[in-house]
Chain A
Protein backbone atom coordinates (compact mmCIF):
# COMPACT_ATOMS: atom_id res chain seq x y z
CA UNK A 1 0.00 0.00 0.00
CA UNK A 2 1.31 3.42 -0.97
CA UNK A 3 1.96 5.94 1.78
CA UNK A 4 0.37 9.39 1.77
CA UNK A 5 3.77 10.82 0.93
CA UNK A 6 4.14 8.52 -2.09
CA UNK A 7 0.74 9.57 -3.39
CA UNK A 8 1.63 13.25 -2.89
CA UNK A 9 4.94 12.96 -4.75
CA UNK A 10 3.34 11.06 -7.61
CA UNK A 11 0.58 13.67 -7.84
CA UNK A 12 3.21 16.43 -7.92
CA UNK A 13 5.11 14.76 -10.76
CA UNK A 14 1.91 14.00 -12.67
CA UNK A 15 0.72 17.62 -12.36
CA UNK A 16 4.07 18.84 -13.65
CA UNK A 17 4.01 16.42 -16.57
CA UNK A 18 0.56 17.63 -17.60
CA UNK A 19 1.78 21.18 -18.24
CA UNK A 20 1.80 21.81 -21.98
CA UNK A 21 5.33 21.64 -23.35
CA UNK A 22 6.66 19.46 -20.52
CA UNK A 23 7.94 16.19 -21.99
CA UNK A 24 9.25 14.61 -18.79
CA UNK A 25 9.05 15.20 -15.04
CA UNK A 26 10.95 13.54 -12.23
CA UNK A 27 11.37 13.97 -8.50
CA UNK A 28 14.92 13.19 -7.45
CA UNK A 29 16.33 12.95 -3.93
CA UNK A 30 19.67 14.24 -2.61
CA UNK A 31 21.39 10.96 -3.44
CA UNK A 32 20.30 11.22 -7.05
CA UNK A 33 17.68 8.49 -6.83
CA UNK A 34 14.43 8.87 -8.75
CA UNK A 35 11.53 9.02 -6.29
CA UNK A 36 8.84 9.39 -8.97
CA UNK A 37 8.91 10.02 -12.70
CA UNK A 38 6.64 10.51 -15.69
CA UNK A 39 8.23 10.17 -19.11
CA UNK A 40 8.12 8.02 -22.21
CA UNK A 41 11.80 8.71 -22.90
CA UNK A 42 14.09 6.61 -20.68
CA UNK A 43 17.28 8.23 -22.03
CA UNK A 44 15.96 11.68 -21.21
CA UNK A 45 15.04 10.55 -17.69
CA UNK A 46 18.58 9.27 -17.16
CA UNK A 47 20.00 12.59 -18.33
CA UNK A 48 17.69 14.40 -15.90
CA UNK A 49 18.79 12.10 -13.09
CA UNK A 50 22.49 12.64 -13.89
CA UNK A 51 22.23 16.41 -13.92
CA UNK A 52 19.93 16.77 -10.90
CA UNK A 53 22.65 16.20 -8.30
CA UNK A 54 24.84 18.88 -9.87
CA UNK A 55 21.86 21.22 -10.10
CA UNK A 56 21.10 20.67 -6.42
CA UNK A 57 24.71 21.51 -5.51
CA UNK A 58 24.57 24.62 -7.68
CA UNK A 59 21.26 25.67 -6.13
CA UNK A 60 22.77 25.35 -2.65
CA UNK A 61 25.74 27.46 -3.72
CA UNK A 62 23.47 30.13 -5.18
CA UNK A 63 21.25 30.13 -2.09
CA UNK A 64 23.84 32.34 -0.37
CA UNK A 65 22.88 35.03 -2.87
CA UNK A 66 19.12 34.87 -2.39
CA UNK A 67 17.53 37.29 0.13
CA UNK A 68 15.98 34.50 2.22
CA UNK A 69 18.75 31.96 1.74
CA UNK A 70 16.37 29.56 -0.01
CA UNK A 71 17.75 27.46 -2.87
CA UNK A 72 16.66 29.03 -6.17
CA UNK A 73 15.05 27.40 -9.18
CA UNK A 74 17.54 26.79 -11.98
CA UNK A 75 17.11 26.42 -15.73
CA UNK A 76 19.67 24.73 -17.99
CA UNK A 77 19.55 25.49 -21.71
CA UNK A 78 21.63 23.32 -24.00
CA UNK A 79 22.76 24.02 -27.57
CA UNK A 80 21.55 20.56 -28.49
CA UNK A 81 18.87 19.05 -26.28
CA UNK A 82 15.81 19.88 -24.29
CA UNK A 83 15.95 22.64 -21.68
CA UNK A 84 15.80 21.35 -18.10
CA UNK A 85 14.20 23.12 -15.15
CA UNK A 86 15.18 22.31 -11.56
CA UNK A 87 13.01 23.28 -8.59
CA UNK A 88 13.92 22.43 -5.00
CA UNK A 89 10.99 20.92 -3.07
CA UNK A 90 10.54 19.60 0.46
CA UNK A 91 12.86 22.29 1.79
CA UNK A 92 15.56 21.34 -0.68
CA UNK A 93 15.63 17.65 0.20
CA UNK A 94 14.37 16.78 -3.27
CA UNK A 95 14.51 18.35 -6.70
CA UNK A 96 11.68 18.42 -9.20
CA UNK A 97 13.21 18.24 -12.66
CA UNK A 98 11.26 19.10 -15.81
CA UNK A 99 12.31 18.68 -19.42
CA UNK A 100 10.47 20.94 -21.86
CA UNK A 101 10.16 20.54 -25.60
CA UNK A 102 11.77 23.85 -26.52
CA UNK A 103 12.98 27.16 -25.10
CA UNK A 104 9.56 28.63 -25.97
CA UNK A 105 8.04 26.43 -23.25
CA UNK A 106 10.32 27.60 -20.42
CA UNK A 107 8.19 30.57 -19.35
CA UNK A 108 5.02 28.51 -19.10
CA UNK A 109 6.77 25.67 -17.29
CA UNK A 110 8.46 28.03 -14.80
CA UNK A 111 5.16 29.75 -14.11
CA UNK A 112 3.21 26.51 -13.63
CA UNK A 113 6.05 25.03 -11.57
CA UNK A 114 5.69 27.87 -9.06
CA UNK A 115 1.96 27.18 -8.83
CA UNK A 116 2.41 23.42 -8.47
CA UNK A 117 5.11 23.61 -5.82
CA UNK A 118 3.66 26.67 -4.13
CA UNK A 119 7.01 28.39 -4.58
Chain B
Protein backbone atom coordinates (compact mmCIF):
# COMPACT_ATOMS: atom_id res chain seq x y z
CA UNK B 1 0.00 0.00 0.00
CA UNK B 2 1.37 3.42 -0.91
CA UNK B 3 1.34 6.43 1.40
CA UNK B 4 -1.54 7.89 -0.57
CA UNK B 5 -3.69 4.81 -0.02
CA UNK B 6 -2.83 4.82 3.69
CA UNK B 7 -3.85 8.44 4.04
CA UNK B 8 -7.14 7.94 2.20
CA UNK B 9 -7.96 4.81 4.23
CA UNK B 10 -7.40 6.68 7.47
CA UNK B 11 -9.56 9.57 6.39
CA UNK B 12 -12.33 7.24 5.19
CA UNK B 13 -12.41 5.56 8.61
CA UNK B 14 -12.85 8.93 10.33
CA UNK B 15 -16.05 9.81 8.46
CA UNK B 16 -19.10 7.80 9.42
CA UNK B 17 -21.33 7.28 6.41
CA UNK B 18 -18.50 7.83 3.92
CA UNK B 19 -18.98 5.71 0.83
CA UNK B 20 -15.75 6.52 -0.88
CA UNK B 21 -12.96 9.06 -0.54
CA UNK B 22 -10.78 9.93 -3.50
CA UNK B 23 -8.02 12.21 -4.70
CA UNK B 24 -8.14 13.49 -8.24
CA UNK B 25 -6.34 15.84 -10.57
CA UNK B 26 -7.65 19.06 -12.04
CA UNK B 27 -7.17 17.35 -15.39
CA UNK B 28 -10.39 15.52 -14.47
CA UNK B 29 -8.82 12.13 -13.82
CA UNK B 30 -9.23 10.05 -10.70
CA UNK B 31 -5.84 9.28 -9.10
CA UNK B 32 -6.68 7.10 -6.10
CA UNK B 33 -9.67 6.12 -4.02
CA UNK B 34 -10.52 4.22 -0.88
CA UNK B 35 -11.82 1.55 -0.80
CA UNK B 36 -9.60 0.80 -3.79
CA UNK B 37 -10.55 -2.70 -4.88
CA UNK B 38 -13.62 -3.05 -7.09
CA UNK B 39 -14.80 -6.14 -5.20
CA UNK B 40 -14.27 -4.70 -1.71
CA UNK B 41 -17.53 -5.23 0.30
CA UNK B 42 -16.91 -1.82 1.87
CA UNK B 43 -17.71 -0.31 -1.52
CA UNK B 44 -21.36 -1.32 -1.21
CA UNK B 45 -23.44 1.77 -1.89
CA UNK B 46 -20.54 3.62 -3.50
CA UNK B 47 -20.72 4.78 -7.12
CA UNK B 48 -19.54 2.30 -9.74
CA UNK B 49 -15.94 2.99 -10.87
CA UNK B 50 -17.11 4.42 -14.21
CA UNK B 51 -19.64 6.63 -12.43
CA UNK B 52 -17.02 7.87 -9.97
CA UNK B 53 -14.80 8.79 -12.91
CA UNK B 54 -17.66 10.86 -14.35
CA UNK B 55 -18.31 12.50 -10.98
CA UNK B 56 -14.64 13.45 -10.69
CA UNK B 57 -14.75 14.99 -14.16
CA UNK B 58 -17.90 16.95 -13.24
CA UNK B 59 -16.36 18.23 -10.00
CA UNK B 60 -13.33 19.40 -11.99
CA UNK B 61 -15.69 21.32 -14.28
CA UNK B 62 -17.48 22.82 -11.28
CA UNK B 63 -14.19 24.03 -9.80
CA UNK B 64 -13.44 25.60 -13.17
CA UNK B 65 -16.83 27.33 -13.24
CA UNK B 66 -16.40 28.52 -9.64
CA UNK B 67 -13.02 30.03 -10.45
CA UNK B 68 -14.71 32.88 -12.34
CA UNK B 69 -17.05 35.47 -10.85
CA UNK B 70 -17.63 33.45 -7.70
CA UNK B 71 -13.95 33.45 -6.81
CA UNK B 72 -13.42 37.06 -7.88
CA UNK B 73 -16.28 38.17 -5.64
CA UNK B 74 -14.82 36.20 -2.73
CA UNK B 75 -11.38 37.60 -3.33
CA UNK B 76 -9.88 34.11 -3.24
CA UNK B 77 -10.34 30.88 -5.22
CA UNK B 78 -13.30 28.70 -4.24
CA UNK B 79 -11.61 25.92 -2.31
CA UNK B 80 -14.56 23.74 -1.39
CA UNK B 81 -17.69 22.51 -3.15
CA UNK B 82 -20.64 20.79 -1.48
CA UNK B 83 -23.50 19.08 -3.31
CA UNK B 84 -26.26 17.43 -1.30
CA UNK B 85 -29.23 15.26 -2.19
CA UNK B 86 -31.73 13.21 -0.23
CA UNK B 87 -29.62 10.05 -0.40
CA UNK B 88 -26.25 11.58 0.31
CA UNK B 89 -23.84 14.04 -1.12
CA UNK B 90 -20.41 15.10 -2.30
CA UNK B 91 -17.79 17.32 -0.75
CA UNK B 92 -14.72 18.29 -2.71
CA UNK B 93 -11.83 20.35 -1.39
CA UNK B 94 -8.84 21.72 -3.28
CA UNK B 95 -5.46 20.43 -2.10
CA UNK B 96 -3.41 22.65 -4.38
CA UNK B 97 -3.93 24.15 -7.86
CA UNK B 98 -3.52 20.68 -9.43
CA UNK B 99 -5.33 18.34 -7.04
CA UNK B 100 -8.51 17.98 -4.99
CA UNK B 101 -9.99 15.40 -2.64
CA UNK B 102 -13.56 14.17 -2.83
CA UNK B 103 -15.82 12.58 -0.23
CA UNK B 104 -18.92 10.71 -1.41
CA UNK B 105 -21.23 10.21 1.54
CA UNK B 106 -24.53 8.61 2.45
CA UNK B 107 -27.45 10.36 4.15
CA UNK B 108 -26.17 9.60 7.65
CA UNK B 109 -22.90 11.53 7.27
CA UNK B 110 -22.46 14.62 9.42
CA UNK B 111 -21.51 17.47 7.09
CA UNK B 112 -19.55 19.27 9.80
CA UNK B 113 -17.45 16.16 10.33
CA UNK B 114 -16.97 15.68 6.58
CA UNK B 115 -15.83 19.30 6.17
CA UNK B 116 -13.45 19.00 9.07
CA UNK B 117 -11.98 15.76 7.75
CA UNK B 118 -11.69 17.15 4.23
CA UNK B 119 -9.72 20.11 5.55
CA UNK B 120 -7.44 17.77 7.48
CA UNK B 121 -7.03 15.46 4.48
CA UNK B 122 -6.21 18.34 2.15
CA UNK B 123 -3.61 19.60 4.60
CA UNK B 124 -2.07 16.14 4.98
CA UNK B 125 -2.02 15.48 1.24
CA UNK B 126 -0.56 18.88 0.41
CA UNK B 127 2.38 17.94 2.61
CA UNK B 128 2.66 14.35 1.42
CA UNK B 129 2.35 15.06 -2.29
CA UNK B 130 4.97 17.75 -2.65
Measured CB to CB, the residues of A under 8 A from B are 20, 104, 106-108, 110-111, 115
Contacts and interface: CB of A to CB of B under 8 A. Distances in A.
A88 B27 CA distance: 19
Nearest to A110: B29
Contacts of A108: 30-32
B49 interface: yes
- B interface SS class: mixed
Contacts of B2: 20
B49 A110 contact: no
B30 A104 contact: yes
Interface string B44-83: 0000011001000000000000000000000000000000
Contacts of B31: 107-108, 111
18 contacts: A20-B2, A20-B36, A104-B49, A104-B53, A106-B29, A107-B24, A107-B25, A107-B27, A107-B29, A107-B31, A108-B30, A108-B31, A108-B32, A110-B27, A110-B29, A111-B25, A111-B31, A115-B129
A87 B129 CA distance: 20
Contacts of A111: 25, 31
